[in-house]
Structure 1
Amino acid sequence: MSHALPYMIQVSQLSITVVGGGMVAKKRTQSLIDAGAHIHLVTPRLKGDWDELIRSHNLTWEARKVTDEECLLADWVFLCTNNSALHDGYKQNKVPRQMVYRCDLAQEGNFYVPASIERGLLSVSVSTAGASPSYTKHIKETLEAVLPSHAAEDLQFLQQARKRILAQKGERQAKLKVLKELASKDRLRDPNREEWLNEACALVEKERR
């Protein structure tokens, strides 16, 4: 994979198959279900504690092996086994436009999964394109240490403020000016930011008249 673009993708409408029943398969399945996906899991056996995921309404388990001569009719296929030959064979037989992830050789798949940091509405992704998972982990830990602890609270406030400002009548430029000021460090740390927002909204409405 020579080049890749970072996107945030809604997965709830995709058909997704995970092949494998080990630790990596469980990790990928968990993150996909958390994002709203329904997973078709294909593996003859499960390793580790899958009980909670198996009870999920977003998971169906087909207890069998996948061969390197078949193809699965899903939008995305996650190959999460320790069998590289299976992965090689499947990649040759995949259906057109199907996106395939390989846990063993990320760069040989159609996409790879970045490390991610979630703080409420904030999502930060880090990837080294499969070059070094250890270095990716190091960068992720560095970022976690510098991200503000109040980011989730700030974004919740900014989201509600944005909806309120854009919904009211007034000049677009005046609204954008308020939104920009709200996102500034000084305004976010202002204990009276709610009062300032009320006054700013009133002023935008007044200037329209």
Structure 2
Amino acid sequence: MAHMPILLDLTNKSIVIIGGGAIAERRVNKLMQFDAYITVMSPTLTAKLQKLYEQQQIQWLAQDYSIHQLPPAALVVVATNNKAVNRMVKQELPQQTLLNMASDSEQGDVVFPGILKRGKLSISVSTSGASPKLTTAILAELQQQFPPDYEQYVDFLYTCRQQIKQSNISHAEQQKLLATVLDDKYQYKQFQQQLLSWLAENI
């Protein structure tokens, strides 16, 4: 299967996770970062999922999988170790609903990559199941290359771009300035402030 990397807006999208164990918990933890509306369908939950339910951060259908009681969803995540249930979900799921099969990514439409987020910067890494440990190792390297304070630098670039694109200077001049702000020195706040002041006064 050929999976194309793509960014999805999951804000307020309905996502159903079938299964309430450790794998389901990891999926919930990841999806909660993106403001999705999450429902877990499982007779039992891990302690962490139970707490999230009690805090009303997720919904819970306390039952085994049933296609007849499955809420409408943009994405269904199958996170059980029951092969019969996994096969049933894949067979019964509406065609327009995306599917992530945690136990076998090639059986679904969606693969969950390793993700590094620094504000507006998102970097995803996947080996398509070849080596999850390699994915973890690459993410560790990226965390060193892009530390948490890199988010502030990305915000600076966003602010510059908004000011430059809204200016009355020519397209060619805009492109030249947008290239200029990528200079390494602008990763330092002192130079960022100087440039932002210059942009405010000159364009």
Q: TM-score, normalised by structure 1?
A: 0.86
Please list every run of 5 or more consecutive structure 1 residues that lacks an aligned counterpart in the other structure: none
Return 75-84 or 160-169, whichever deviates more. Answer: 160-169
Q: CA deviation at 1:86?
A: 0.9
Tell me: CA distance 1:196–1:136, structure 2 relative to 1, closer, same or farther (3 Å): closer
- Tell me which residue corresponds to 2:84: 85
For the Cα contact (< 8 Å) 2:185–2:191, is it kept in 1?
no
> Identity of aligned pairs, percent?
25
For the Cα contact (< 8 Å) 2:113–2:126, is it kept in 1?
yes
Please list every run of 5 or more consecutive structure 2 residues that lacks an aligned counterpart in the other structure: none
Tell me: CA distance 1:183–1:150, structure 2 relative to 1, closer, same or farther (3 Å): farther
Q: How many residues end up aligned between the 2 structures?
A: 202
Q: CA deviation at 1:59?
A: 1.8
For the Cα contact (< 8 Å) 2:163–2:199, is it kept in 1?
no
Q: How do 1:90-129 and structure 2 match up within 5 A?
A: 90-129=89-128
Given residue 124 of structure 1, which amino acid in structure 2 is its aligned partner?
I
- Tell me which residue corresponds to 2:132: 133
Distance in 1 between residues matched to 2:185 and 2:33, nearest whole Å: 34
Given residue 86 of structure 1, which amino acid in structure 2 is its aligned partner?
V
Q: CA deviation at 1:190?
A: 7.2
Tell me: CA distance 1:42–1:51, structure 2 relative to 1, closer, same or farther (3 Å): closer
Distance in 2 between residues matched to 1:21 and 1:37, nearest whole Å: 17
For the Cα contact (< 8 Å) 1:23–1:48, is it kept in 2?
no
Distance in 1 between residues matched to 2:192 and 2:139, nearest whole Å: 31
Partner deviation per Cα, 1:94-130 (whole Å, 9 max, x = no partner): 1112111111111111111000112222211100112
Tell me: CA distance 1:3–1:197, structure 2 relative to 1, closer, same or farther (3 Å): same
Q: Name which one, 1 or 2, has greater alpha-carbon Rg.
A: 1
For the Cα contact (< 8 Å) 2:114–2:136, is it kept in 1?
yes
Partner deviation per Cα, 1:48-70 (whole Å, 9 max, x = no partner): 32244214444211100115x65
Task: Output the aligned Cα RMSD.
Answer: 2.2
For the Cα contact (< 8 Å) 2:156–2:192, is it kept in 1?
no
Distance in 1 between residues matched to 2:143 and 2:192, nearest whole Å: 26
Q: CA deviation at 1:200?
A: 4.4
Tell me: CA distance 1:193–1:60, structure 2 relative to 1, closer, same or farther (3 Å): closer
Q: CA deviation at 1:143?
A: 2.3
Q: CA deviation at 1:182?
A: 0.7
- Tell me which residue corresponds to 1:186: 185
Distance in 1 between residues matched to 2:182 and 2:51, nearest whole Å: 39
1:9 aligns with 2:14: no
Q: CA deviation at 1:201?
A: 5.1
Return 104-113 or 170-179, whichever deviates more. Answer: 170-179
Distance in 2 between residues matched to 1:81 and 1:183, nearest whole Å: 46
- Tell me which residue corresponds to 1:176: 175
Tell me: CA distance 1:162–1:106, structure 2 relative to 1, closer, same or farther (3 Å): same
Q: TM-score, normalised by structure 2?
A: 0.88
For the Cα contact (< 8 Å) 2:53–2:60, is it kept in 1?
yes
Distance in 2 between residues matched to 1:163 and 1:55, nearest whole Å: 41
For the Cα contact (< 8 Å) 1:70–1:90, is it kept in 2?
no
Distance in 2 between residues matched to 1:108 and 1:64, nearest whole Å: 24
Return 140-149 or 6-15, whichever deviates more. Answer: 140-149
Tell me the secondary structure at the aligned position of residue 47 of structure 2.
coil
Q: CA deviation at 1:136?
A: 1.5
